[in-house]
Amino acid sequence: MTDSSPNPEPAARPIVTGDAMGVAVTAARAADAKQGRDIVVLEVGDILSIVEYFVVLGAPNRRLVRTLVDEIEQAVRARTGQSPVRSEGAREQQWVLLDYGDVVVHVFLDEIRRFYEIERLYRDAPVVDWREG
C-alpha cells in the first residue's frame, strides 16, 4: 500500500534526545583538555529556536582543529552515545561544524574565527559557564 497523501510533510530536523547543556559542556571540556582556544558556550535557543547551544572555539593550526574535532566527537559519544547528525568542513580543517541537533559545535582555525566573528553575531546570547567547579 502506498501513501496517497497529496502533500507529505517535509522532513523535520532530527531531534537528539538527551541533555543539550550536558552535550555542550562535554564538548567544551573536551576541547579544553586538548588546548582549544577561547572556548565559549552560548545559549542561543531564544535567538535561533532550532538549536539550544553553540560551542565556539579556536585552534592555531589545522592539525589541532582535527585533533579537537576528534576529541569532541569521542567525548560526546562516550558520555551520550551520540555522534553528530551532520558535520561539515572536516576536509578543509578551517571551520568544522559538528551538528548534534540541539547543540552545534564550531571549531575554527584562529584566523577564520577572527574573520567571521561568530560571537559578535550572537552577542546578546547568554554565556554558559562550562568549567568545572
CATH number at residue 111: 3.30.460.10
Determine, yes or no, domain membership for 66: yes
Checking if the pLDDT of 96 tops 90, the result is yes
Number of neighbouring beta carbons within 10 Å of residue 118? 16
pLDDT digits (tens, 9 = 90+) for 61-70: 999 999 999 9
pLDDT at 2 over 60: no
Query: Is residue 64 a part of any domain in this protein?
Result: yes
Residue-wise pLDDT for 74-89, tens only, equals 999 999 999 999 999 9
Q: Is residue 92 part of a domain?
A: yes
49 found inside a domain:
yes
The answer to whether residue 1 is domain-embedded is no
pTM here is 0.85
Q: What is the number of structural domains in the chain?
A: 1
Which pLDDT belongs to residue 128? 96
Q: Is residue 3 part of a domain?
A: no
Determine, yes or no, domain membership for 5.
Answer: no
